[in-house]
Structure 1
Amino acid sequence: MPEAAFTQATIGDSEFDRDTALTLREPGVYDIDLSAGWTIISAVNGGYLLAVLGRALADALPHADPFTISAHYLTASQPGPAVVRTSLVRTGRTLSTGQASLFQYDEEGREIERIRVLASYGDLDSLPDDVRTTAQPPAIPPIDQCFGPQDSPAPVPGSSAITDRLMIKLDPATLGWALGAPSGKGEMRAWFGLADGRDADPLSLLLAVDALPPTAFELGIKGWVPTVELTVHIRCRPAPGPLRVSITTRNLAGGFLEEDAEVWDTEGRLVAQSRQLARVRLG
């Protein structure tokens, strides 16, 4: 994809920002209409939901940047009206902690909790520059040598409306599942961005860790892989340009698997990490 594709929309003025925007009803309570544009099959993507709650907490807490956020997905969210309720747990000089839940209503008007998060927020720009790490960015071929959903001759498992809003170019080495020959390694690597060219920020990193096809596909498993729990660590504010995302699974047992994700920016910095537990529909 040409570099110009990453310089169109701006942070604060993009489809992602509009679709995660909330309306303050009263202190700590927000209304939102969950967009159908971020669905996987018929359910709203978990990373998009995490960004919605992350934006609510950024408004409700004294600090603006998510440092760590842990979410439990209780029931599948659907496009349409939702309510987010936040509360302050503790505030300090460098970190503040809060919790938030997203609710929707069933056909009988009963309130259903969809997702609950606990998060600590701070100021990423105040962090020291000292880095001591053994982590290395994933080796991914150049973008023009990778492949996205638009390159597939036919729809692939899990394809949905969300793919139109993302720039995903998958490493050919992790595309065996799309060709009917999964590698069995449980790995997924890709270049990632938003389709309208908006650069990444801490909130969109919450989406990035949960936007690639499930690693279960490379284990030879098809179908929906719903998230049970997802914890994300934001390490620094990402530089402009496409991100490199690497996700691995080492253990599928008892119908559950873990996914460990790393997100790297164009300056070769590890900007986000995550681990999630997901349910696998076997058979």
Structure 2
Amino acid sequence: MALGTIGNSEFDRDTAVSPRERDGGRGVYDADLSAGWTIFGAVNGGYLLALLGRALGDALPHPDPFSVTAHYLSASRPGPAVVRTELIRAGRTLSTGQASLVQYAPDGTEVERIRVLATHGDLGALPDDVRTTAKPPALPPYEHCLGKDHGPAAAVAPEISGRLDIRLDPATAGWAAGAPSGRGEMRGWFGLADGRPADALSLLLAVDTLPPAAFDLGLNGWVPTVELTAHIRRRPAPGPLRVSLATRNLAGGFLEEDAEVWDSEDRLVAQSRQLALAPRGA
């Protein structure tokens, strides 16, 4: 099988948007949400972020997502969708816009699924200086981590797991055997199954595709995202990505989840925080 490339891969085809009309600072796009990126029948939130990021990258003067805040209003389902974008402000180095994805109920009623406010820029124009105390996650070698053939990833989401190459750190995969650590952590290697290299759009996918850190607390079931903010910090270097998730506070039926994505040059390339509903019965 030929390896996927940026612009020619399953991910690119499934996040494609077709311009329908433009009116000044507004643009409308048609999309088809693929069933291959679902979890328990609902379309994955990171996949939706990438699709909306692609639409905004076309609609705004600047191509790359820098900061994206998404509110998930209802569960998206596979099938046709409409994305409406609006330019809010265009500056020399940054532009800000919003996007809304809607689908239609059987009776024809419009249902808004997700609304995004985003700032875009040009990642290629950023200076190369780095001053940080952040450190990449300590992961066992790729071949010593647990892939979908070992159970955890495929057991959680068989549809989306076939499109991803995720290898979980065994230290954070005890939940799959009924022995969670209780620390609320998840770590693993991340890539796309067809080998497509990482870029800014796939980073939006990466922050929301590992099994939830809540599983490491011994919680089972769907962990729906209420709100997610992602920051894309630089274009990733070639090679696999490392992703770490952590949650520190579950209260009132909600929990936060913080994510970091690191590239092969030990650069922090993406960060996110989301507020999610704890699984029922937690």
Length-normalised TM-score, structure 2:
0.96
Return the alpha-carbon distance in structure 2 between the equivalents of residues 216 and 63 of structure 1. 36
Q: Deviation of residue 148 (structure 1)?
A: 1.5
Residue in structure 2 matched with residue 160 of structure 1 by the alignment: 158
The match for 1:17 among 3, 12, 21 is: 12
Change (3 A) 1:154 1:118: closer
* Residue matched to 1:85: 84
In the superposition, relative to structure 1, how do residues 35 and 155 fare at CA in structure 2: closer, same or farther (>3 Å)? closer
Partners in 1 of 2:39 and 2:279 — Cα distance? 15
Letter in 2 for 1:205: L
Query: Which blocks of at least 5 consecutive residues in structure 1 are unaligned?
Result: none
Contact 2:38 2:157 survives alignment (8 Å): no
Aligned to 2:67: 68
1:175 paired residue number: 173
In structure 1, the residue matched to 2:182 is 184
1:235 to 209, 233, 236: 233
Query: CA separation in 2, counterparts of 1:86 and 1:39?
Result: 24
Partner amino acid, structure 2, of 1:230: L
**Residue of structure 1 in register with 2:253 after alignment:** 255
Q: Which amino acid aligns with 2:241?
A: L
- How far apart are the structure 2 equivalents of 1:159 and 1:272? 23
**Seq. identity, %:** 73
Equivalents in 2 of 1:150, 1:82: separation in Å? Answer: 33
AA aligned opposite 1:177: W
CA offset at residue 41 of structure 1?
Answer: 1.1
Query: In the aligned structure 2, how far is the partner of 1:274 from the partner of 1:69?
Result: 9
Query: Secondary structure in 2 aligned to 1:90?
Result: strand
Distance 1:145 1:218 in 2: 19
Shift of 1:149: 2.0
Q: 1:181 to 1:122 in 2, by over 3 A?
A: same
CA RMSD between the two structures: 1.3
Aligned equivalent of 2:42? 43
Cα distance in 2, alignment partners of residues 209 and 154 from structure 1: 15
**Which residue identity does 1:90 align to in structure 2?**
R
Moved over 4 A (4+): none
Q: 1:62 to 1:43 in 2, by over 3 A?
A: same
How far off its partner does 1:160 sit?
Answer: 2.5
Instruction: Describe the superposition over 1:220-274 as per-residue Cα deviations: whole angstroms up to 9, x where unpaired.
Output: 0000000000000000000111100000000011110000000000011000000
User: In the aligned structure 2, how far is the partner of 1:159 from the partner of 1:32?
Assistant: 23
Question: Distance in 2 between the 1:189 and 1:153 partners?
Answer: 12
Q: Does 1:100 align with 2:94?
A: no
Q: Which runs of 5+ in 2 are unaligned?
A: none
CA distance in structure 1 between the partners assigned to 2:265 and 2:97 by the alignment = 31
CA distance in structure 1 between the partners assigned to 2:4 and 2:162 by the alignment: 15
CA shift, 1:159, in A, is 2.0
Q: Give the whole-Å Cα distance in 2 for the aligned partners of 1:154 and 1:83.
A: 30
User: Secondary structure, in 3 states, of the residue corresponding to 1:25?
Assistant: strand
Q: Deviations over 1:60-88 (max 9, x none)?
A: 00000000000000000000000000000
In the TM superposition, what is the alpha-carbon distance from 1:154 to its structure 2 partner? Answer: 10
Matches of 2:257 and 2:208, distance apart in 1: 9
C-alpha change, 1:153 and 1:21, in structure 2 (3 Å) is closer
Distance 1:202 1:155 in 2: 25
